[in-house]
Chain A
Amino acid sequence: MKKSTPYLLLIPALLFTVFVLVYPLVQNLINSFSDVSMITGRSGWTGLRNYEHIFEDTLFWRSFRNTSVYAVVGTALALVIGLGFALLLNLKLGKINTIMGCLYTVPWVISPVVAGFAWKWLLNDHFGIVNYWLASAGIVKAGTTWLGNPTTALLCVMLARIWQFYPFAMVMFLAGLQSIPQEQYEAAAVDGATMVRRFFYITLPNLKTVTSVMLVLGVIWSFNDFNMVFVMTRGGPMNSSMVLPVLVREYSFVQFDLGRGSALSVVVFALLTTLSFVYLKVISRGEST
Chain B
Amino acid sequence: MKKTLLSLVMIVLALLVLLPVLWTISTSLKPLSEVNQYPPQWTSSTMSLKPYSDMFFYLPFSTYTLNSLIVACSSTVLTLLFGSLAAFAFSRFTFAGKQIFLLIFLLSQMLPGASVIIPLFQLLQTIGLYDTYFGLILVHTAVLLPFVIWLLYGFFQTIPREIEDAALIDGCSRLTALRKVILPLALPGIGATALFSFLGSWNEFFFALILTSSDSTRTIPVGIGLFVGEYLDVWNQMAAAAILFSIPPLILFTLTRKTFIKGLVAGASK
The interface of chain A, by Cβ under 8 A from chain B, is 1, 3, 5-7, 9-10, 12-14, 16-17, 19-21, 23-25, 27-28, 31, 85, 88, 91, 93, 96, 100, 102-107, 109-122, 126-129, 132, 136, 142, 160, 163, 171-172, 175, 209-210, 213-214, 217, 220, 223-224, 226-227, 230-231, 234, 244-245, 248-249, 252-253, 258, 261-262, 264-266, 268-269, 272, 275-276, 279-280, 283, 286-287
Chain A CB within 8 A of B235 CB: yes
- What are 23 sample pairs from A and B whose C-beta atoms fall under 8 A apart? A6-B89, A17-B104, A17-B105, A19-B138, A20-B108, A24-B117, A24-B120, A25-B115, A27-B118, A27-B119, A31-B119, A88-B10, A96-B7, A100-B10, A114-B24, A121-B239, A127-B37, A132-B39, A132-B40, A224-B114, A226-B206, A230-B225, A272-B110
Contact assessment for A25 and B116 in the assembled complex, using a CB-CB cutoff below 8 Å: yes
Closest 7 CB pairs of A and B: A27-B119, A24-B116, A24-B119, A9-B89, A118-B20, A269-B115, A6-B93
* B85 on interface, CB distance cutoff 8 Å: yes
Q: In the complex, which residues of chain B have a beta carbon less than 8 angstroms from the beta carbon of A7?
A: 89, 95
A20 touches B118 (CB 8 A): no
Chain B contact surface mostly: helix
**Measured between C-beta atoms, what is the minimum distance from B90 to chain A in Å?**
8
Query: B104-148 CB contact bits vs A (8 Å, 1 = yes)?
Result: 111110111111111111110000000000000011011101100
Question: How would you classify the secondary structure of chain A's contact residues: helix, strand, loop or mixed?
Answer: helix
B21 within 8 Å of A (CB atoms): yes
Chain A residues, Cβ within 8 Å of B101: 10, 14
Quick check: B35 and A17 within 8 Å, CB to CB?
no
Q: Which of A91, A110, A223 sits near B246, CB closer than 8 Å?
A: A110
Binds A, one of B51-59, B154-162, B181-189, B253-261: B253-261
In the complex, what residues of A have CB within 8 A of residue B151's CB? none
Residues of B within 8 A of A276 (CB): 107, 110
The closest CB in chain B to the CB of A251 belongs to B118
B210 located at the interface, meaning its Cβ lies under 8 Å from any Cβ of chain A in the complex: yes
Chain A residues, Cβ within 8 Å of B82: 12-13, 16
Cβ contact within 8 Å between A23 and B119: yes
* Minimum CB distance partner of B14 in chain A: A103
Report the Cα distance A94→B201, complex, angstroms.
35
With a 10 A CB-CB cut-off, give which of B95, B112, B120 has the most chain A CB atoms.
B112
CB closest residue in chain B, given A102 = B254
State whether A129 touches B23 (Cβ < 8 A).
yes
The docked-state distance in angstroms from the alpha carbon of A172 to that of B81 is 29
Q: Which residues of A contact B202 (CB under 8 A)?
A: 111
Distance of A171 Cα from B224 Cα, bound (Å): 28
Say whether B23 contacts A118, CB under 8 Å.
yes
Q: Does B249 lie within 8 Å of A20, measured CB to CB?
A: no
Query: Bound complex: CA of A283 vs CA of B249, how far in Å?
Result: 30
CB-nearest residue of chain A relative to B239? Answer: A121
B157-210 contacts to A (CB < 8 Å): 174, 202-203, 205-206, 209-210
